[in-house]
A and B are shown apart, each in its own frame.
Chain A
Amino acid sequence: MNRYDVVVIGAGNGGLAAACTVLNAGKSCLVCERHNIPGGFATSFVRGRFEFEASLHEFNGIGTPEQPGSTRELFEQLGVADKIEWIQLKDAYHLISEKEGYDYVMPFGYEAFAKANNQLDLNGEKYIREFFVICQQIRDAMAYISESKGHPDPQVMMEKYPDYLACGSYSVNEAFEALGYPKAIVDNLNTYWCYLGADGNSMSFLHYANMIYSYFSKGAAIPKHRSHELSLAFEQTIHEKGGEIWYNSEVTKILTDENKHVCGVQLSDGRIIETRHVIANCSPHLVYGKMMDPTAVPEKALKLTNYRKFAGRGFTVFLGLNRSPEELGLKDHNYFIYDTSNSVDQYASMARFGNTAAQATVVLNNADPDCSPEGTTIMYMTTLFTSDVWSDVEEKDYFNKKNEVARAMIERFEKATGVDIKDHIEELAIATPETYARYCGHPQGVIYGYESQYYDGLMNRIQMVEEDHFVPGLRIGGGYGERLLGYPSSYKSGNNEAKRTLRDMEKEGD
């Protein structure tokens, strides 16, 4: 077939969710993916006797079947929920921050987390309970705004969600300063900052508070068969609903007609697929800068895209160790190892090549003891680069450079925990910004889309989503979308853009 109601560019999380949404409405849909497997970053790979998770540290928003989180509800709507087996995580994290001398474990669960803060401050629990009241209001307000399809009643907002409005314009650091909590409590609450990758002066408080509330109150989980299970669950659902996915099939052009409305896509081998509706699960930089005819790109789209700031460029060390976690002395699933809990300082250090200022490390066996053969351990350490330093690396130096950074990260972990890693490496893989650029085509090897900025954070993006839409027949979703980065956000963004596409189709009579 050469004509589809909708063509989705990219089988990443946003693209897969978009395809399911479109198919649910009875429309025909083709997904074109440049790689040979679905998922984008949501995948896994095998080295020797280890299967490594490519990107996911922990998934929030799943909850339990009895108390489902918002992403579980979305997965149910999309028809993938029953295909995924989840493992709930016990503890939130083990934080080690050198400058402040922090070395403690925080549990998941509203009550447990609140109480655990008493070890940091005599009134820790009280502050956390107050903080959670604000968080709950933020969630409720966002749900109300979403229900109102972007047109909330100002009167209702003022009466029911005053805290949402009052803190809405502030950064994380400004908001915590206003709340006046002691440093130890604020530092603890800041621990998850690297999951969003913007420093506390830039990152919107609403966005961050909403995320950590979801983590602490609903907990987090991982799919039993790595994130590849999520991607294949979506793929199977797409096939069941009559959709198609073509691999090794990169879309190089989005075609537009004389009215500058989308009329098709062209693949790298020249083949043309007709469609009036495209949902792109990739960077607007590529969409407007590379795939489209410049005359079909409005000036406003260029301005907005130039205004955006690229977020973190990924770096991950994957280790298959020939000892069990018990033998090595690794007790926890999730480690955050920081030079300091000050996210502004951390962010600045992470612009330099070879820094080890911050790492998020997962010991997978401590969540899923069966994930690797007996007597072995899978762990992965992730950091971000907050500048484009990897663009200066030359081809012949690349292998040495990536080992240099990986070695420093491993040694940093060893120093912080006292655990010997280097003598037990059986398998090793290293993903650098080059790797992420290769597999997903992102400029600079960015893994976090556009960074959450003071005026380009969650609230503004959601509020202005129709203003940020420029080309008739084209919607852009996924990690670069209005809900920013992260697994739940990308799925939700793909789902939202597909719903908008369906509305576009209805309006246009397609």
Chain B
Amino acid sequence: MIFKRSDIPGEDIKRAMSMADKRRQLIEETPATPLVYDYGVNRLARSLHPGIVKAKISNKEQCGSDSCRITLSAVQGKFPYFRAGQFITLSSKVNDSFISRPYSIASSPKEALEGKIAIIVQKKGIFADYLINEAAIGTELSVGEPSGDFYHDDLRDQNHILAIAGGSGITPFISMMKAIKEGSEDFRLTLVYGIRKKEMMLIDPDEYKDERIRIITVLSDEEREGYRHGFINTEILKEFLDDKTNVFMCGPDAMYNFVSKQLDELGFDKTRIRKERNSVGDRKVEESKTYKLTVHIRDEVYELEAKNEETIITAMERAGIPALVRCRNGSCGFCHSRVIKGDYFISRENDFRRSADKKFNYIHPCSTYPESDLEIEIPIFNV
């Protein structure tokens, strides 16, 4: 025997034998008062992550010549504080479909605490048409909680952001500029705003006067005094780039391709560029095909048709299945689903699945196209 603590023979073992009795006694002495399980941290978690909030359209106003600014007010639950640059996902039944779309938030985090979130909707697509032309003031929508990593982070990013916006891609930067002016963010933002014509502008730069904010508007389709003309090229970019700058981009993919090339030419570090990802849309196929899609939600089973040029989420939306989706670009993992049987395709640039998801055959339906009849299990719309 090696272990000995007490000098009294047998005492150590006797002590071990009495441990249970001592514990019994201590438990017996503890009061049987109601258990406290909800603490400040748990309440904070619910405030920051309320899940889906029911909200109504409280205001609509024309914004530029081809967009509409829509304000949402929470009716059940409350909007959380968020990071300027994040997006929300709106969901609603539209005719026989159940549609969800992500929109960058155009209002400030402070306004969310006052119960309001604004988005800017461009007149393009079925859901935009519904929001702008059909949904009246007072219409209720489901609003997913603010998400995404398109925000300034003082640990990750430099203090100067060169923000490059194309068209409605200015929206997250509007939120950032408001946050800077209100004092909840503190970084320098140089906004290079590319748009076709002045009448399409979604902001009045005079509203964002602040020593940390600078706005340069580049009109591609018209020449005007006080505005730059053409595309966002190396000439313009190099004026604002240095090694204390991160580049944030939000706009169409064509702009990303063009500006990325320009930045490459300037030798700018790719790892210092952050792009807001666009939704995954239809793909080009050689031959259009329609497959049978079987969807399990808990113990319910739905059978529907899915076209090979459309994402699985699009097929489910058209069939009116309440399918959970958030980012629509494959990155957030909210629609994580199990493939039971069948083939599918995911483009490399929109495959953000975990490596074990690939191994065990899980997909994100928002970025996945069917390549055969397909059977999947999706999570219930219940958060």
Contacts from A to B (Cβ < 8 Å): 1, 36-37, 44-48, 51, 130, 133-134, 158, 162-163, 165-170, 174-175, 177-179, 224-226, 228-229, 231-233, 235-236, 239, 244, 246-249, 268-269, 283, 285-286, 288-290, 294, 299-300, 302-307, 313, 322, 388, 390-396, 398-399, 403, 406-407, 410, 422, 425-428, 433-435, 437-438, 441, 443-445, 455-456, 459-460, 463-464, 467
Q: Are B5 and A46 in contact (CB under 8 A)?
A: no
**CB neighbours of A239 from chain B (8 A):** 338
The contact sample of 16 A-B pairs, CB cut-off 8 A, is: A46-B354, A162-B13, A166-B13, A177-B5, A178-B4, A229-B356, A233-B360, A239-B338, A289-B35, A394-B44, A428-B156, A434-B48, A435-B45, A437-B45, A443-B36, A463-B19
**CB neighbours of B38 from chain A (8 A):** 290, 443
Q: Are A44 and B354 in contact (CB under 8 A)?
A: yes
Q: Are B380 and A425 in contact (CB under 8 A)?
A: no
Complex partner residue of B356 from A36, A175, A225, A425, CB under 8 angstroms: A225
Shortest Cβ gap from B254 to chain A (Å) = 22
Additional A-B contact list (10), CB under 8 Å, known A231-B356, A302-B34: A134-B2, A167-B5, A232-B360, A248-B383, A285-B36, A302-B33, A322-B271, A395-B44, A399-B81, A456-B23
Q: How far is the CA of A164 from the CA of B333 in the complex (A)?
A: 48
**CB neighbours of A441 from chain B (8 A):** 42
Shortest Cβ gap from A422 to chain B (Å) = 7
Shortest Cβ gap from B131 to chain A (Å) = 26
Which residues 1-21 of B sit at the A interface, judged by CB distance below 8 A? 1-5, 12-13, 15-20
Q: How far is the CA of A399 from the CA of B10 in the complex (A)?
A: 57
Q: How far is the CA of A428 from the CA of B37 in the complex (A)?
A: 30
**CB neighbours of B149 from chain A (8 A):** 47-48, 427
Q: How far is the CA of A433 from the CA of B298 in the complex (A)?
A: 31
**CB neighbours of A163 from chain B (8 A):** 1-3
**CB neighbours of B156 from chain A (8 A):** 425-428
- The verdict on B282 contacting chain A, using a C-beta distance below 8 Å, is no
Q: How far is the CA of A471 from the CA of B3 in the complex (A)?
A: 40
Q: Which of A231, A246, A313 has the most CB of B within 10 A?
A: A246
Chain B 234-267 interface 0/1 with A at a Cβ cutoff of 8 Å (1 = within): 0000000000000000000000000000000000
Q: Are B379 and A36 in contact (CB under 8 A)?
A: yes
Q: Are A169 and B113 in contact (CB under 8 A)?
A: no
Q: Are A225 and B354 in contact (CB under 8 A)?
A: yes
**CB neighbours of B13 from chain A (8 A):** 158, 162, 165-166, 168
Interface of A is mostly: helix
Q: Are A228 and B37 in contact (CB under 8 A)?
A: no
Q: How far is the CA of A236 from the CA of B22 in the complex (A)?
A: 44
Complex partner residue of A269 from B2, B31, B331, B382, CB under 8 angstroms: B382
Q: Are A455 and B49 in contact (CB under 8 A)?
A: no
Complex partner residue of B35 from A269, A306, A396, CB under 8 angstroms: A306
Q: Are B155 and A422 in contact (CB under 8 A)?
A: yes
Q: Which 10 A-B pairs have the closest CB atoms?
A: A391-B40, A289-B35, A168-B16, A178-B5, A225-B356, A438-B45, A229-B356, A322-B271, A302-B32, A166-B12
Q: Are B2 and A175 in contact (CB under 8 A)?
A: no
- The verdict on B184 contacting chain A, using a C-beta distance below 8 Å, is yes
**CB neighbours of A175 from chain B (8 A):** 3, 5
**CB neighbours of B2 from chain A (8 A):** 130, 133-134, 163, 179
Q: Are A307 and B26 in contact (CB under 8 A)?
A: yes
Q: How far is the CA of A274 from the CA of B380 in the complex (A)?
A: 20
Q: With A36-B334, A169-B15, A396-B184 in contact, is A306–B41 under 8 Å at CB?
A: no
Q: How far is the CA of A248 from the CA of B323 in the complex (A)?
A: 12
Q: Which of B2, B3, B30, B39 has the most CB of A within 10 A?
A: B3
Q: Are B37 and A286 in contact (CB under 8 A)?
A: yes
Chain B 357-383 interface 0/1 with A at a Cβ cutoff of 8 Å (1 = within): 101101000000000000000011111
Q: How far is the CA of A434 from the CA of B45 in the complex (A)?
A: 5
Q: Are B41 and A228 in contact (CB under 8 A)?
A: no
**CB neighbours of A403 from chain B (8 A):** 153-155
**CB neighbours of A300 from chain B (8 A):** 27, 32
Contacts from B to A (Cβ < 8 Å): 1-5, 12-13, 15-20, 22-24, 26-28, 30-42, 44-45, 47-49, 80-81, 83, 109-110, 113, 149, 153-156, 184, 269, 271, 298-299, 324, 331, 333-334, 336, 338, 352-357, 359-360, 362, 379-383
Q: Are B36 and A228 in contact (CB under 8 A)?
A: no
Q: Are B40 and A393 in contact (CB under 8 A)?
A: yes
Shortest Cβ gap from A324 to chain B (Å) = 13
Shortest Cβ gap from A405 to chain B (Å) = 11
Considering the complex, give the chain B residue whose CB is closest to the CB of A205. Answer: B3
Q: How far is the CA of A240 from the CA of B318 in the complex (A)?
A: 32
Complex partner residue of A247 from B184, B299, B380, CB under 8 angstroms: B380
Q: How far is the CA of A203 from the CA of B47 in the complex (A)?
A: 35
Q: Are A232 and B39 in contact (CB under 8 A)?
A: no
Q: How far is the CA of A300 from the CA of B110 in the complex (A)?
A: 47
Q: Are B4 and A166 in contact (CB under 8 A)?
A: yes
Considering the complex, give the chain B residue whose CB is closest to the CB of A1. Answer: B299
**CB neighbours of A247 from chain B (8 A):** 379-380
Considering the complex, give the chain B residue whose CB is closest to the CB of A163. Answer: B3
Shortest Cβ gap from B304 to chain A (Å) = 21
Q: Are A225 and B359 in contact (CB under 8 A)?
A: yes
Q: Which of A134, A175, A225, A390 has the most CB of B within 10 A?
A: A225
Q: How far is the CA of A396 from the CA of B16 in the complex (A)?
A: 51
Q: Are A236 and B360 in contact (CB under 8 A)?
A: yes
Q: With A162-B13, A249-B298, A459-B19 in contact, is A398–B26 under 8 Å at CB?
A: no
Q: Are A455 and B1 in contact (CB under 8 A)?
A: no
Complex partner residue of A165 from B16, B41, B354, CB under 8 angstroms: B16
Q: How far is the CA of A461 from the CA of B116 in the complex (A)?
A: 51
Q: How far is the CA of A247 from the CA of B333 in the complex (A)?
A: 13
Q: How far is the CA of A392 from the CA of B22 in the complex (A)?
A: 35
**CB neighbours of B26 from chain A (8 A):** 307, 455
Q: Are B42 and A396 in contact (CB under 8 A)?
A: no
Q: Are B27 and A44 in contact (CB under 8 A)?
A: no
**CB neighbours of B184 from chain A (8 A):** 396
Considering the complex, give the chain B residue whose CB is closest to the CB of A459. Answer: B19
Q: How far is the CA of A410 from the CA of B154 in the complex (A)?
A: 13
Considering the complex, give the chain A residue whose CB is closest to the CB of B297. Answer: A246
Considering the complex, give the chain B residue whose CB is closest to the CB of A227. Answer: B356
Q: Are A248 and B324 in contact (CB under 8 A)?
A: yes
Q: How far is the CA of A233 from the CA of B324 in the complex (A)?
A: 24
Q: Are B44 and A398 in contact (CB under 8 A)?
A: yes
Q: How far is the CA of A127 from the CA of B172 in the complex (A)?
A: 62
**CB neighbours of A170 from chain B (8 A):** 5, 12
**CB neighbours of B354 from chain A (8 A):** 44-46, 51, 225-226, 228
Q: Are A395 and B81 in contact (CB under 8 A)?
A: yes
**CB neighbours of B28 from chain A (8 A):** 303
Complex partner residue of A390 from B41, B299, B382, CB under 8 angstroms: B41
Shortest Cβ gap from B141 to chain A (Å) = 19
Shortest Cβ gap from B314 to chain A (Å) = 20
**CB neighbours of A433 from chain B (8 A):** 41
Shortest Cβ gap from B177 to chain A (Å) = 18
Q: With A169-B16, A225-B359, A410-B155 in contact, is A299–B42 under 8 Å at CB?
A: no
Q: Are A390 and B12 in contact (CB under 8 A)?
A: no
Shortest Cβ gap from B208 to chain A (Å) = 22
Considering the complex, give the chain B residue whose CB is closest to the CB of A443. Answer: B37
Q: Are B44 and A393 in contact (CB under 8 A)?
A: yes
Q: With A248-B379, A395-B47, A398-B48 in contact, is A285–B35 under 8 Å at CB?
A: yes
Q: How far is the CA of A170 from the CA of B45 in the complex (A)?
A: 38
Q: Which of B1, B184, B381 has the most CB of A within 10 A?
A: B1
Q: How far is the CA of A231 from the CA of B156 in the complex (A)?
A: 30
Q: Are B113 and A167 in contact (CB under 8 A)?
A: no
